[in-house]
């Protein structure tokens, strides 16, 4: 089998790792990849959103299955382009990818399907947005409607902060085209979980549930980022909650997409806020595997991942996944100084030669120069994933390995999974 993974981050390294583990003899390519994927696949030097070169590469290398990692090439129609050329590809069409590419579109889908989500209004002009804001209760959330690399949602404690955010997006162009349309919505209270479902547009196969940590600093302080770490499984995600997520969120969303003539196939990511009554409210939809969620959940899938992707890409129902029984996974993200606004780059990285059992390091923002030295090349640099028989041990191994990695300006959180740690401590008392 010849496989192509599109993308260059930690998610794509995790995809290459999972596909290689299940297909040790396959020819795997990654475009453009990174130094981590280079150890598992052949990197192809082309941008993840260069549709022409990617289509040519799929033809040149006789690719059997393409797996698209990031949202941007999906929103630009990479899956459509490859399918039009007769290629088998895992990922939604550009029309279906609007569930992530346009928060305004996603809100419209949720309203039509009766999916629980925060009340909201959409604006393209500053003055009407400010007038609406003046009557809105605090706190509230202001979101850039388009793709903003996970940084377009701003939780505002006061209306003054929200007004400043609206001016930055609508008047000053903070997020470019992504922020020309904004969504103002009610703040949801509860605990977030990430539910990822492999789907053919009608049926779903759930990956292990995870919880991402968006804030930069420990204790969930600081600005929103693309994600500073995650853990799985999440004890608040009970079987009853997952059934509600399936029946009240995933299946209605898929049904509405079919009704619109834009069926969704691939991974549908539902970011949920679980309130004190156990109701799952949708914070956002994504059209692909999460990052860093992929890095924390894929190591828990012991078999069936490739088969399920292959089935969906060929228009068949997703196949069951085998999950490591009783295992827990924790991922700690190492970022560079200045992230998320102005990350510093170029620092040499030293990774310990011997890692603890169950620990895998996924590269996200690294590069290897002509001198062979591994260096920082992005905001999120490395993902330290530890799998163990219990949460506490996985958390300890991930944190201690993160401690041991060296580069100037290293930023990371030592409290990934702090809510779960508190629940574990409560149960043990």
Omega within 30 of 0 (cis) for the link into 142 = no
Three-state SS string over 284-338 comes to EEECCCCCCHHHHHHHHEEECHHHHHHHHHCCCCCCCCEECCCCEEEEEEEECCC
Residue 404's pLDDT is 98
Residues 47-69 pLDDT 10s? 999 999 999 999 999 999 999 99
The 3-state DSSP class for residue 347 equals coil
Average pLDDT rounded to a whole number, residues 7-28: 98
Residue 356: which region, alpha, beta or left (left: phi > 0; alpha: psi -120 to 50)?
A: beta
152 has pLDDT over 90: no
The answer to whether 242 and 209 are in contact (CB under 8 A) is yes
Q: How many CB atoms lie within 10 A of CB 255?
A: 15
Residue 424's pLDDT is 87
Percent of the chain's residues with pLDDT above 70 = 100
Q: How many CB atoms lie within 10 A of CB 11?
A: 24
Average pLDDT rounded to a whole number, residues 173-193: 91
Identify the helix (H) or strand (E) that includes residue 84.
helix 78-84
User: Which domains, and CATH codes, for the chain?
Assistant: 2-95 (3.40.50.20), 125-180 (3.30.1490), 191-428 (3.30.470.20)
Residue 385 CA: distances (Å) to CA of 293, 300, 305: 11, 11, 18
Identify the helix (H) or strand (E) that includes residue 253.
helix 251-259
Place of tokens 């990934």: 416
Estimate to the nearest angstrom the gap between the alpha carbon of 330 and the chain centroid: 15
Residues 235-273 pLDDT 10s? 999 999 999 999 999 999 999 999 999 999 999 999 999
Residue 326's pLDDT is 95
224 has pLDDT over 90: no
Residues 399-424 pLDDT 10s? 999 999 999 999 999 999 999 999 98
What's the token pair of residue 423?
A: 């629940």
Identify the helix (H) or strand (E) that includes residue 245.
helix 239-245
Residue 425's pLDDT is 85
6 has pLDDT over 80: yes
Mean confidence (pLDDT) of the chain: 95
Lowest-confidence region among 151-165, 318-332, 368-382, 403-417: 151-165
In which band, very low, low, confident or very high, does the pLDDT at 190 lie, cut at 50, 70 and 90? very high
In which band, very low, low, confident or very high, does the pLDDT at 174 lie, cut at 50, 70 and 90? confident
In which band, very low, low, confident or very high, does the pLDDT at 17 lie, cut at 50, 70 and 90? very high
Residue 313's pLDDT is 98
277 or 319: which leads in pLDDT:
319
At residue 362's C-alpha, the angle toward residues 377 and 354, to 5°, is 110
In which band, very low, low, confident or very high, does the pLDDT at 77 lie, cut at 50, 70 and 90? very high
Residue 175's pLDDT is 87
429 has pLDDT over 80: no
Tell which residue, 147, 146, 258, has the closest CA to residue 199: 258
Residue 169's pLDDT is 93
Residue 78 CA: distances (Å) to CA of 84, 103, 112, 144: 10, 20, 27, 23
The answer to whether 207 and 177 are in contact (CB under 8 A) is no
Measured distance CA(220)–CA(224) in Å, rounded: 9
**With a threshold of 0.85, does the pTM exceed it?**
yes
């Amino acid at each position: 089998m010849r496989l192509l993974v599109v993308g260059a981050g930690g998610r794509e390294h995790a995809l290459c790792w999972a596909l290689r583990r299940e297909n040790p003899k396959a020819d795997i390519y990654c475009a453009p990849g990174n130094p981590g994927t280079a150890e598992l696949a052949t990197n192809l030097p082309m941008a993840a959103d260069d549709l022409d070169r990617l289509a040519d590469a799929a033809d040149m290398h006789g690719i059997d299955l393409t797996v698209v990692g990031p949202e941007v090439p999906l929103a630009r129609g990479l899956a459509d382009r490859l399918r039009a050329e007769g290629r088998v590809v895992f990922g939604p069409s550009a029309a279906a990818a609007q569930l992530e590419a346009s928060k305004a579109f996603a809100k419209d889908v949720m309203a039509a399907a009766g999916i629980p989500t925060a009340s909201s209004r959409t604006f393209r002009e500053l003055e009407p947005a400010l007038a609406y804001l003046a009557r809105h209760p605090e706190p509230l959330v202001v979101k850039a409607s388009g793709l903003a690399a996970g940084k377009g949602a701003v939780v505002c404690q006061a209306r003054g902060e929200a007004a400043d955010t609206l001016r930055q997006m609508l008047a000053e162009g903070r997020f470019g085209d992504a922020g020309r349309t904004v969504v103002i919505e009610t703040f949801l209270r509860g605990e977030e979980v990430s539910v990822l479902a492999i789907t053919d547009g009608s049926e779903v196969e759930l990956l292990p549930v995870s919880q991402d940590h968006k804030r930069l600093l420990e204790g969930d302080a600081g600005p929103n980022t693309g994600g500073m770490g995650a853990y799985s499984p999440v004890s608040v995600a009970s079987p009853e909650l997952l059934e509600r997520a399936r029946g009240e969120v995933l299946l209605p969303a898929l049904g509405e997409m079919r009704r619109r003539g834009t069926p969704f196939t691939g991974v549908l990511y539902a970011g949920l806020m679980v309130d004190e009554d156990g109701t799952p409210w949708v914070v956002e939809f994504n059209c692909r595997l999460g990052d860093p969620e992929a890095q924390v959940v894929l190591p828990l899938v012991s078999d069936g991942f490739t088969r399920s992707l292959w089935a969906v890409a060929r228009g068949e129902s997703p196949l069951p996944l085998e999950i490591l029984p009783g295992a827990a996974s924790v991922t700690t993200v190492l970022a560079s100084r200045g992230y998320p606004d102005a990350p510093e780059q170029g620092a040499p990285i030293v990774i310990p030669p011997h890692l603890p059992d169950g620990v895998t390091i996924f590269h996200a923002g690294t590069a290897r120069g002509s001198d062979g030295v591994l260096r920082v090349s992005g905001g999120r640099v490395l993902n330290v994933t530890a799998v163990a028989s219990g949460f506490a041990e996985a958390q300890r191994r991930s944190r201690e390995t993160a401690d041991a990695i060296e580069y100037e300006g290293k930023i990371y959180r030592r409290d990934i999974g702090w809510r779960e740690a508190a629940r574990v401590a409560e149960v043990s008392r």
